[in-house]
Structure 1
Amino acid sequence: MAAPFKSVQLEAAIGLNMQDDTTEKVRKGPEVSRELFGGVLDFDAAGHYPGLELLNFVYCGAGEDPLPAGDTVKITRRSHDFGRRLVWDSSFKDDPRRHNVLLDDAAAEETLRELLRCLQLDIPSGAKEPKWSRAHFFPYTQSLIHWDARERYGSIRVERLYLRGGGALAFKILRSDPDTMRLECIREGFKLLYSATVESPLEILAGFINEQSKTDEQPVVDDIEKATQANLDDFENVYRDGILNILQQGDATSVAKIRAVMGWTALWLVLMQNRRARHSLGMAESPIICDCGAGSPQLRRASQRCLQQVLGNIVGAVVHAEPGIASAQRNKIRSFFWATAAANGFLNAWRGRKHFTFSVDALEMIVLATIPAVHGMPFERFVTEVLYDRLGLAVGRGAAEASGLVNSIDASIFEENEAQLALQMIAAGLVTQYSDATRMVSRRTAS
């Protein structure tokens, strides 16, 4: 009686193995993200890095063209590990480069350390001193632009840690622009972006420190950028138009424009993620409800529910595309949305109960990206034509009526919400009120 049982077991095992051989491999998060959104949208624990990654591609390329054509691009990645370790690595005191480069002057070294510390890119999730590999410099000048790096097996390795693909997608979209005139204007805008800081003391210092740091010996092809896809929908033109408008703000400082490029890239990526997730599920477009602080509990709850619906749609789209995906991989794609939105002033907080809103920095970035430099725009048109029509953000009564939100929330609540936004923008210098009936949106003169 034992032999037939063993035979059945053997046959079952063979059948199971045959089934395993023919079972399709479960795709990981980056592959699913590329299918849904065109590129890798992955939680980076800080939310600011897509813009920094974009600038690496634009300014660290192998050639002179900031937006080269072709299937592949090569970049020379630099780590800035000398400066970052000087500030954020206590063991750096034993690094031989320190003794070769720095004068034996403790006060001067401490001054340099504090100067570099002030250049740190904000980490909203950080409650304590970061490791040097997590701390990045804000790209105030071109030589401050740098890639990820870490120390492994006693040597510095330049590789991805936090620059995970959002900026690569933005770069691919810009350099794949079918509108050749706009593409050329954006190219010229990037070439001029850092022109005012070329001979600045900070640029000279950053360049010297960069020379002491680990850098690619030869330009390398970035496989993440190579695999991203552009020209998937018309919403990409909203991003391109915004970048062009920022770069053409002649009276804005370079720092204001750099902040706007990074913020606009982050905002567009999360808005795109929401739109493409809904599209993949066969859902119609629906606006994101922004609570501008009018004090309505009903509007606050609606905005909170809106965020949960957005996150739920992203998870639904990921699971629909790959039912067997691991929960950790799924949640990384989901978390990209809220972390990027929170870090760039599109959510009220990094932790706790969240709802959609606008920080002053976010409002200035949107104005720089959407209002032509030569003239302003009436506030009422800005709320309707820019925030709602172009970006899909519901603030005022017009958006509420057009989207049907007035069926569940009283229209007067949206009127008060719009009025509160106007007060915030007036206080921030982004709206000038000429009379009770005339309010104009424009970039604030002191950036």
Structure 2
Amino acid sequence: MKNNPVQRVRKGPEVSRELFGGVLDFDAAGHYPGLELLNFIYCGEEENSFAVGDVVKIRRRSHDFGRKLVWDSDFKSDPRRHDVLLDDASAEDALRELLRCLQLEIPSGTKEPKWSRAHFFPYTPSLIHWDARDRSGRIKLERLYLRGGGALAFKILRSDPNTDRLQRIIAGFNRLYSPTIESPLEILAAFINDQSKKDEEPRLDEIANATRANIDEFESVYCDGILNILEQDGATSVAKVRAVMGWTALWLVLMQNKRARFSLGLDEGNIICDCGASSPQLRRVAQRCLQEVLSNIVDAVEKVEPNIANAQRNKIRSFFWATAAANGILNAWRGRKHFTLSVDALEMIVLATIPADKEMPFERFVDDVLYGRLGITVGRGAAELSGLINSIDASIFEENEAQLALQMIAAGLVTQYSDATRMVSPRTAL
């Protein structure tokens, strides 16, 4: 009698890749996918990181010198300290405080991070860096927080079948940092980067090379958004970088919801946002919507791998809520959470969905962009199309839409020309 072979239980990254095309992991939630994307674009093997080919290589750099200077209490014993810095405590303190101001936000952070947990926001190209940690007294370049969400976004961009859009995106990224190249901050960042551990030769990135693209039409929404952001000529490079990172995060969570539902044979569904309508009923619906999304992700994961470990399953699930919270799509990081739209999230959505020098009626923005393109329900029109008014009074959604309009007017995202004419434009989001 033959023994049946023991079937291998697939781990979280494999399951995530089958479901969503790439690795979505709680440790890599929040702003990290955007930072990872910029590493692939600006630290690639060749000057043109979108070069045709299946193999992705990257020159990783740690920026460990600057990060340890700020966030490592043992930096005073680092031999590079005396080789690089003047023997002037005040100058070192001034540099430390300057670099501290460049920290990428850690939404869940409640105390001073370790240096390997803290990253620099990519204000200039030389501030872009990879993950690193101390191992037995040596700096190792390896994934801690840049685990694959950005690799998936990069794969989607470079695999875009729309060649005209792809070439414009490449040109946009080539221009993105041009205003900062000769800035004092870039000169300083390049010098500090030179003191840090980095790859001498490009390294094959296995996560990026195993990532899949061209899975569904929603990828075109992501590419359109990146193109719109890059072609906002009136925006500063910093505003564009923030929008690229925020749009990448938002698209990933919306995609995660859509592909989980698809794998379960459900319709596309929608994200119901409470924009401050002061309706307890709408708040409960927005809370239940989040729970349904998270439950669908768990069900989809278990459908792919019924024996997956709880910790692995929960990491995929937690990527959604943590990334949504960090980017203003949820009301809070802790406690009872519901879907909403922060001003920062709205600014990023406007930059990504409305071309430069264009404007759109507010009602169209709510119905065609938020609901039609992104699957986000705010107003009555979307509620009618999705059947929500069969169980919730339509006036609640009318008030919700009115509150969204007031927030966007206050933020300068909507110009009210008359009682009947309200226009959304990226000009004031810049």
TM over 0.5: yes
For residue 55 of structure 2, the aligned residue among 72, 94, 102 is 72
Q: Give the secondary-structure state (helix, strand or coil) at the position aligned to 1:44.
A: helix
CA distance in 2 between partners of 1:198 and 1:269 (Å):
30
For residue 222 of structure 2, the aligned residue among 239, 246, 249 is 239
Please state if 1:437 is matched with 2:425: no
Per the alignment, do residues 181 and 46 of structure 1 end up closer, same or farther by CA in structure 2, a change over 3 Å counting?
A: closer
Please state if 1:359 is matched with 2:342: yes
Contact 1:46 1:124 in 2 (8 A): no
Corresponding position of 2:374: 391
Please state if 1:56 is matched with 2:39: yes
Corresponding position of 1:111: 94
For residue 229 of structure 1, the aligned residue among 207, 212, 215 is 212
Q: Alpha-carbon deviation of 1:46?
A: 5.2
Q: Alpha-carbon deviation of 1:371?
A: 0.5
Q: Give the secondary-structure state (helix, strand or coil) at the position aligned to 1:445.
A: helix
- Counterparts of 1:344-355 in structure 2, within 5 Å, are 344-355=327-338
Corresponding position of 2:67: 84
Residue deviations 1:27-57, cap 9 Å, x none? 0000000000000001126511000000000
Residue deviations 1:137-177, cap 9 Å, x none? 00000000000000001100000000010000000000000
Contact 1:148 1:160 in 2 (8 A): yes
- Counterparts of 1:246-257 in structure 2, within 5 Å, are 246-257=229-240
Contact 1:300 1:355 in 2 (8 A): yes
Contact 2:29 2:319 in 1 (8 A): no
Residue deviations 1:399-424, cap 9 Å, x none? 00000000111100000000000000
For residue 286 of structure 1, the aligned residue among 261, 269, 277 is 269
Q: Give the secondary-structure state (helix, strand or coil) at the position aligned to 1:64.
A: coil
Please state if 1:267 is matched with 2:253: no
Residue deviations 1:105-146, cap 9 Å, x none? 111100000000000000011100000000000000000000
Structure with greater Cα Rg:
1
CA distance in 2 between partners of 1:334 and 1:445 (Å):
35
Given the two structures, how large is their TM-score scaled by the length of structure 1?
0.95
Report the residue type matching 1:333 in the other structure: I
CA distance in 1 between partners of 2:224 and 2:107 (Å):
29
CA distance in 1 between partners of 2:167 and 2:175 (Å):
13
Corresponding position of 1:133: 116
Where in structure 2 are there 5+ consecutive unaligned residues?
none
Residue deviations 1:76-132, cap 9 Å, x none? 000000000000000010001010000011111000000000000000111000000
Contact 1:46 1:125 in 2 (8 A): no
Corresponding position of 1:142: 125
Report the residue type matching 1:430 in the other structure: L
CA distance in 2 between partners of 1:68 and 1:221 (Å):
15
Corresponding position of 2:135: 152
Q: Alpha-carbon deviation of 1:446?
A: 6.7
CA distance in 1 between partners of 2:428 and 2:389 (Å):
37
Residue deviations 1:328-375, cap 9 Å, x none? 000000000000000000100000000001111100000000011021
CA distance in 2 between partners of 1:391 and 1:300 (Å):
20
Corresponding position of 2:291: 308
Corresponding position of 1:42: 25
For residue 380 of structure 1, the aligned residue among 334, 359, 363 is 363
Q: Alpha-carbon deviation of 1:386?
A: 0.2
Q: Alpha-carbon deviation of 1:445?
A: 3.5
Please state if 1:167 is matched with 2:174: no
CA distance in 1 between partners of 2:192 and 2:319 (Å):
32
CA distance in 2 between partners of 1:387 and 1:25 (Å):
42
CA distance in 1 between partners of 2:20 and 2:343 (Å):
28
Please state if 1:337 is matched with 2:281: no
Contact 2:271 2:377 in 1 (8 A): yes
- Counterparts of 1:197-212 in structure 2, within 5 Å, are 197-212=180-195
Report the residue type matching 2:353 in the other structure: T
What is the number of equivalent residue pairs in this alignment?
A: 430
Q: Give the secondary-structure state (helix, strand or coil) at the position aligned to 1:385.
A: helix
Per the alignment, do residues 411 and 283 of structure 1 end up closer, same or farther by CA in structure 2, a change over 3 Å counting?
A: same
For residue 26 of structure 1, the aligned residue among 2, 9, 21 is 9
Contact 2:274 2:282 in 1 (8 A): yes
Corresponding position of 1:95: 78
CA distance in 1 between partners of 2:50 and 2:345 (Å):
26
Corresponding position of 2:161: 178
Report the residue type matching 1:218 in the other structure: E
CA distance in 2 between partners of 1:427 and 1:254 (Å):
24
Report the residue type matching 1:79 in the other structure: S
Q: Alpha-carbon deviation of 1:444?
A: 4.4
CA distance in 1 between partners of 2:142 and 2:20 (Å):
23
Please state if 1:196 is matched with 2:179: yes
For residue 406 of structure 1, the aligned residue among 369, 383, 389 is 389
Corresponding position of 1:6: none
Residue deviations 1:207-257, cap 9 Å, x none? 000000000011001000000000000000000000000000000111110
Report the residue type matching 2:270 in the other structure: P
Q: Give the secondary-structure state (helix, strand or coil) at the position aligned to 1:317.
A: helix
Contact 2:350 2:429 in 1 (8 A): no
Residue deviations 1:276-320, cap 9 Å, x none? 000000011111100001110000000000000000000000001
CA distance in 1 between partners of 2:194 and 2:223 (Å):
33
